[in-house]
């Protein structure tokens, strides 16, 4: 696990956590952060996906506001700071920064397709990548605001897997139904609803962590990305 710097299309040197696969060349995977920066949970996730056979690259998307942000969602002040940083994030610019990560991974081995996976804010950005970049496939864990992001007509996009918590406080039932309906119009955008789960059900040690649901989502994610 180390930090590298990505050169973005506008000349910024953007830090990114890099975790190679421990057993050899891994499948390239862009890991997209939550609103709490590249904190302990994101580093743990990066190591977990690397152990599954991926070469993981996790850009610091808040670096344009403040480098090295690490927040604890269990602390109210940190949670609010994460919300403030999210509100200050230019999401289209963030997707361009994520595409710089895609290009970096592609240069390491052009024969291996680059995929993306994100949580919360990252789950939204993963869908944006599927819709607007040459990413091979993406996975969205409890992405926010997807009801207004996924088109209501079929469009060309990368395959994109959606994990949605049934009781997500940030995704009311009406929004969830819209997401499911719009995703169903797309060529390859499967949706899984996790009964009885709330937002961030796959974050270990988090308030809403559900081990069984997290494991099921992990298995589905691996099957999807390996396909």
H helices present in 91-210, as ranges = 91-108, 121-132, 173-185
- 99 as an active site residue: the answer is no
Active-site residue, selected from the candidate residues 60, 78, 99, 168: 168
CB atoms within 10 A of CB 22: 10
What strand order describes the sheet that includes 115-119? Answer: 2-7, 13-19, 54-59, 27-32, 115-119, 137-141, 160-165, 191-194
CB 159 within 8 A of CB 188: yes
Sign of the Cα torsion 173, 176, 180, 181 reads: positive
Active-site residue, selected from the candidate residues 78, 97, 99, 199: 199
- Neighbour-count burial for 61-75, b at 16+ CB within 10 Å, e otherwise: bbbbeeeebebebee
- 18 as an active site residue: the answer is no
Positions annotated as catalytic residues are 168, 199
């Amino acid at each position: 696990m180390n930090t590298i710097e990505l050169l973005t299309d506008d000349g910024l040197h953007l830090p990114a956590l890099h975790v190679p696969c421990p057993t050899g060349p891994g499948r390239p995977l862009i890991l997209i952060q939550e609103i709490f920066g590249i904190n302990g949970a994101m580093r743990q996730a990066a190591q977990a996906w690397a152990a599954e056979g991926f070469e993981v690259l996790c850009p610091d998307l808040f670096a344009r506001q403040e480098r090295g942000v690490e927040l604890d969602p269990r602390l109210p002040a940190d949670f609010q700071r994460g919300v403030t940083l999210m509100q200050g994030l230019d999401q289209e610019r963030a997707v361009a920064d994520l595409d710089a990560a895609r290009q970096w991974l592609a240069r390491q081995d052009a024969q291996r397709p680059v995929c993306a996976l994100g949580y919360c804010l990252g789950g939204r950005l993963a869908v944006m990548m599927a819709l607007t970049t040459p990413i091979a496939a993406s996975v969205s864990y409890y992405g926010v605001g997807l009801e207004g992001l996924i088109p209501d007509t079929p469009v060309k996009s990368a395959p994109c897997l959606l994990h949605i918590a049934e009781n997500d406080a940030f995704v009311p039932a009406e929004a969830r139904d819209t997401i499911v309906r719009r995703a169903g119009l797309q060529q390859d955008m499967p949706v899984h609803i996790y009964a009885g789960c709330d937002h961030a059900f796959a974050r270990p040690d988090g308030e809403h962590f559900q081990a069984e649901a997290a494991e099921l989502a992990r298995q589905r994610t691996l099957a999807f990305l390996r396909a």
